[in-house]
Amino acid sequence: MAAGVASRLLLVAPTPREAAAVRTSTVCGAGPRATEAVDAMLRVAPRDLVVIAGVCGGLDPSLAPGSLILCRRAVNEHGDERIPERALFEQARRAFRARRLPFVSSSLLTVDAPVVSRAQKTALWNRHGAAGVDMETWGVIEAAAAHGVPWLAVRVVLDPASAALPPSLHTWSGEPDADVLRRVLRRPFEWPSYARLALQARSALRTLAAVSPQLSALSYRLEEPINLSAVTAR
Amino acid sequence: MGIPIRQAMAVSGYLLKQKLKGNKRYPLVLMLEPLYRCNLACSGCGKIQHPEPVLNTYLSPEECWAAAEECGAPVVSIAGGEPLVHPQIAEIVAGLIERRKFVYLCTNAILLERSLPNLTPSPYLTISVHMDGLRDLHDAMVDRAGVFDKAVSAIREAKRLGFRVSTNTTVFADSKPEQVRDLFNFLVDDLDVDGMMVSPGYDYPKAPNQDVFLKRPQMIETFRSILSFPERKRWRFFHTPLFLDFLQGKQAMQCTAWGNPTRSVLGWQRPCYLIGDGYVPTFRQLIEETEWDRYGYGRDARCTNCMAHCGYEATAVTATMASPLEGIRAGIGTMVGRNA
């Protein structure tokens, strides 16, 4: 990647619904499959910048559903961390501020399985200090880094730190909505939880949609040289 | 007795008023630092490393009262520096009480016995004495022999004269849970203090000894040990139960930096009592121009190992007000004088 204006942006989202919100057609899949998907995409068509956008579980208890998180540090369960390229990060920050989008810049934690209970969320918050938790960011970043491509991650809180996920989502690994719906219909006692989650999802997707123009514009605004040495692993 | 009912009611009323007004950010405790000058040089302190001209600058009583009125917080904690070094401290305290502020006069107690005749006991005044351990540990932490004995003597005298006395304990890496337990037992059983405050030390970059600070996971472990001793039932804390849960890692919280705004001789300190990213001349500027979302655990590296009550007690108080169950739990604690 040379210094100058980046023009080839790969904007990915884990699910079709998140992709629709950020107005991209590139769905990388949920969970570990996102890594392979992004790796394959970068092999087929080299890019200058990878951005992952989607929803996440909230760990920072001050963040309500729909809160926007700009990743300043990505971390996995083992404590490995990666930092986005500074110029990109600052540019996104400036763009969000210019649009008066409320956001926090914080850490994002990637885990292998859904984080479902309040106790789990509290423990992860205490341990990692990450504002949000998801199942793809780290993998997508790894794939981008393997290709020498700078990255940026943006997440919006779906379920806040104070909320547990419905039990039938505890084993969720990115199945289509129809499969989830079938499971939910068999468990009427979970319907209130799903109703709440649906409202939270609406709020989260609305925020994703609001930030979408800023994300798409990133690739065309990059005017500073990208310093890949800033992308580090512990 | 835990947090006095009068104070609990006043703070609850104040919070309710803020909610009704729709205020998003409002102060709970004004951290007033009328001077940075201190008569000790504790190993974990990052407040006294200012140049001489700053150390020689004191806020006037009028400036202190104006700060209290400008910010409007119902509670004022006078810190420093050592407030009792200030020649007009009694006047400052009296003026704040006149304005119906609940005053916590923080002190290392070296000058306390000498200052007591100038102060008047009041339900609005609590003398908060810094106590980090029993004799050996405390004197080591403040780096001077004899301070513990002076503090104990001053607490006894203050109690005899009818003052409300609380203590403020900072837990450092050197503090063993058993030592903290012994200290709390001593403070409650022998000195009969009205309440205790406890907080992990903040890793001030300027502090002379960086080895004394705990990292966040250690803090949680240490507080779990301290608060699981059976004697805990007797300890009277000036904290909400939620804050004590937070210290033990049972409750997730984000810092409320604007809850305890700091007015020092340099101005209104941005963003909080522990981090100094500059000063502004007015409280309004502090609240309106500070990028609050940039600060907090996970957001700023300097907040990584901070679990101090000046950042998180305001969060706990707000959460307590928002939850009927927590409200009842805190209310019971206030009524029976212990934390549920």
> Is residue A170 very low, low, confident or very high in pLDDT (cuts 50, 70, 90)?
confident
Which residues on adjacent β-strands are paired with residue A82?
A74
Q: How far is CA B142 from the centre of its chain?
A: 17
Scan for tokens 């943006």, then name that residue: A154
B54 burial via Cβ count (<10 Å: 0-12, 13-18, 19+): middle
Query: Measuring CA to CA, which residue among B179, B202, B229, B205 is closest to residue B309?
Result: B202
Neighbours of B206 (CB within 10 A): 12
Q: Is A4 in CB contact (< 8 Å) with chain B?
A: no
Instruction: Judge: B294–A129 Cβ closer than 8 Å, yes or no.
Output: no
- Whether A60 shows a pLDDT value over 70: the answer reads yes
Closest in B252, B299, B315 to A125, CB measured: B252
Chain B positions touching A61 (Cβ under 8 A) are: 252-254
Helix (H/G/I), strand (E/B), else coil: A109: strand
Least confident of A3-12, A89-98, B205-214, B264-273: A3-12
Query: CA-to-CA distance for B167 and B192, rounded, in angstroms?
Result: 11
For residue B227, the distance in angstroms to the closest alpha carbon of chain A comes to 18
Look at residue B69 in the predicted model and tell me its pLDDT: 97
Closest in B220, B252, B293 to A121, CB measured: B252
Look at residue B203 in the predicted model and tell me its pLDDT: 82
Residue to substitute from A104, A133, A157, interface B, most B β-carbons within 10 A: A104
Interface ipTM > 0.90: no
> Is residue A194 very low, low, confident or very high in pLDDT (cuts 50, 70, 90)?
confident
Residue to substitute from A106, A107, A115, interface B, most B β-carbons within 10 A: A106
Instruction: Judge: A62–B250 Cβ closer than 8 Å, yes or no.
Output: no
**What residue of B is the nearest CA neighbor of A126?**
B249
Instruction: Tell which phi-psi region holds residue B296, choosing left (phi > 0), alpha (psi between -120 and 50) or beta.
Output: left
Question: Contact, A38 vs A10, CB < 8 A?
Answer: yes
Chain B positions touching A63 (Cβ under 8 A) are: 254
Instruction: Judge: A61–B254 Cβ closer than 8 Å, yes or no.
Output: yes
> What integer best gives the mean pLDDT of chain A?
87
**A131-148 per-position pLDDT tens digit:** 999 999 999 999 999 999
Q: Is A105 in CB contact (< 8 Å) with chain B?
A: yes
Query: CA-to-CA distance for B93 and A172, rounded, in angstroms?
Result: 60
Look at residue A225 in the predicted model and tell me its pLDDT: 41
Instruction: Judge: B298–A131 Cβ closer than 8 Å, yes or no.
Output: yes
Look at residue A3 in the predicted model and tell me its pLDDT: 43
Q: Is A61 in CB contact (< 8 Å) with chain B?
A: yes
| Residues sharing a CB contact under 8 Å with residue B48, sequence separation 6 or more, in sequence order | B36, B37, B38, B41, B55, B81
Which residues on adjacent β-strands are paired with residue B167?
B129, B196
Q: Please name the residues between 41 and 100 in chain B that touch chain A, using a CB distance below 8 Å.
A: none
DSSP states along A168-210: GGTT-SS--HHHHHHHHHT-GGGHHHHHHHHHHHHHHHHHHHH
Q: Is B208 in CB contact (< 8 Å) with chain A?
A: no
| Residues sharing a CB contact under 8 Å with residue A109, sequence separation 6 or more, in sequence order | A59, A75, A76, A77, A124, A128, A130, A132, A133, A134
Least confident of A146-160, A199-213, A216-230, B248-262: A216-230
> Is residue A230 very low, low, confident or very high in pLDDT (cuts 50, 70, 90)?
very low
Question: Would you give per-residue pLDDT tens digits along chain B (340 residues)?
Answer: 567 888 889 998 999 999 999 998 999 999 999 999 998 888 778 777 888 999 999 999 999 999 999 999 999 999 989 999 999 999 999 999 999 999 999 999 999 999 999 999 999 999 999 999 999 999 998 999 999 999 999 999 999 999 999 999 999 887 899 999 999 999 999 999 999 999 998 887 777 777 778 889 999 999 999 999 999 989 999 999 999 999 999 999 999 999 999 999 999 999 999 999 999 999 999 999 999 999 999 999 999 999 999 999 999 999 998 888 888 888 777 776 665 4
Q: Is A126 in CB contact (< 8 Å) with chain B?
A: yes
Chain A positions touching B312 (Cβ under 8 A) are: none
Q: How far is CA B303 from the centre of its chain?
A: 17
Question: Contact, A34 vs A28, CB < 8 A?
Answer: yes
Question: Contact, A151 vs A226, CB < 8 A?
Answer: no
Q: What is the 3-state secondary structure (H, E, C) of B219-257?
A: HHHHHHHHCCCHHHHHCCECCCHHHHHHHCCCCCCCCCH
Chain B positions touching A125 (Cβ under 8 A) are: 252, 297-298
Kindly report the CA angle at B194 between B188 and B198, in degrees rounded to 5? 70
**Numbers of helices and strands, H then E, in chain B:** 13, 9
Look at residue A219 in the predicted model and tell me its pLDDT: 61
> Is residue A174 very low, low, confident or very high in pLDDT (cuts 50, 70, 90)?
low
**What residue of B is the nearest CA neighbor of A75?**
B298
Look at residue A224 in the predicted model and tell me its pLDDT: 45
Residue that wins the pLDDT comparison between A5 and B77: B77
Q: Is A96 in CB contact (< 8 Å) with chain B?
A: no
Greatest extent of chain A over all pairs of C-alpha atoms, in Å = 56
Chain A positions touching B253 (Cβ under 8 A) are: 61
Kindly report the CA angle at B226 between B223 and B230, in degrees rounded to 5? 140
Size of interface A-B (CB pairs under 8 A): 50
